Amino acid sequence: MTKLDIDLDRSSPVPLYFQVAEQIARAIQAGELAPGSRLDNEVLLADRLGLSRPTIRQAIQYLVDKGLVVRKRGVGTQVVHGQVKRAVELTSLYDDLRRVGQEPATRVLAIETVPADESTAGALGVATGTEVVRLERLRYAEGKPLALMHNWLPPGPASLTAEALEARGLYELLRAAGVRMRVAAQRIGARTATPAEVRLLEERRACPLLTMVRTTYDDQGRAVEHGSHVYRASHYSLEVTLVER
């Protein structure tokens, strides 16, 4: 049992369960709750914090979903061992790089309206030939090329400019335009770079690339974006945390 110092602000618009979860997460990250240590049981926590047990359960379930703690019936709730990285999230590369402090920069190679070919139309759920926005961008991290990114977007709410795309990530711009991204289907693979890719990414001939093809859907289920990105495998890998439910 480890004593926890949790302050609750009942006048805050932040739900109580979330306040509890946040503070427990913070204690874990700060080392106050050591890996392997046991949390107080739900009934006791609820009593001490003056909350109901389902509210505590909701807070702890949030932490379970984040992979920070595990629960076992009859035993209790324990902080997970090991350095937990970020879970799989619906974020753009721009967001990712900025989060880890690698100053991202973008060069827009093309932004045009084109008729969607069969494959793109299928991914976006529009008729073949529909006019869609096609983006081609080169993403830099710490001054070096990292990824070549193609995206296709259906005509819609976000009016994208090269200036905006060079200043912010695509998902950020979509969100600012009111698009609520919800689910994405993604395929991760690898292949050898084409000569054009080699040139743009400043890599050696036939270097390996990590590839990601992703279609993102909004909360109404409409495709809002289809992307095909390639990354220099020498400079980029994807780290994820898998959590068994």
Partner DNA sequence: GTGAACAATTTGTCAAGACATTCTTACGTA
Partner DNA sequence: TACGTAAGAATGTCTTGACAAATTGTTCAC
- Kindly tell me which residue out of 26, 81, 144, 199 binds a copy of itself, with binding defined by CB under 8 A: 81
Residue 160's H or E segment, with its range, is none
Q: Residue 87 pairs with which residues in a beta bridge?
A: 241
Q: Which is nearer to DNA, 58 or 102 (CB)?
A: 58
Q: Which does 13 bind (CB under 5 to 8 A by kind): DNA, a copy of itself, none?
A: DNA
User: Of residues 13, 31, 143, 195, which one binds DNA by CB under 7 A?
Assistant: 13
Gap between the Cα atoms of 223 and 217, Å rounded:
4
| 114 membership: H or E segment, kind and range | strand 104-115
Per-residue binder mask for DNA (CB under 7 A), 48-87, x = binder:
--xxxxxx-xx------------xxxxxxx----------
* Spatial separation of the C-alpha atoms in residues 35 and 200, rounded to whole Å: 44
Contacts of 58 (CB under 8 A, 6+ apart): 17
**Judged by CB under 8 A, does residue 237 bind a copy of itself?**
yes
Among 31, 36, 50, 74, interactor with a copy of itself by CB under 8 A: 36
Residue 175 binding DNA, by CB under 7 A: no
What are the angstrom distances between the C-alpha of 83 and each of 29, 35, 45, 133, 241?
9, 9, 25, 40, 10
- Measured torsion, CA atoms of residues 29, 30, 33, 36, in degrees rounded to the nearest 10: 50
Q: Is 179 in the site for a copy of itself (CB under 8 A)?
A: no
The string of DSSP letters for 120-154 reads HHHHHTS-TT-EEEEEEEEEEETTEEEEEEEEEE-
Which of DNA, a copy of itself, none lies near 35, with the C-beta cut-off 5 to 8 A by kind?
a copy of itself
Residues that bind a copy of itself in the complex, under the rule CB under 8 A: 35-36, 54, 65, 67, 70, 72, 78-85, 88-90, 125, 181-192, 206-211, 214-215, 217, 219-223, 233, 236-245
Residues that bind DNA in the complex, under the rule CB under 7 A: 13, 15-18, 39, 41-44, 50-55, 57-58, 71-77
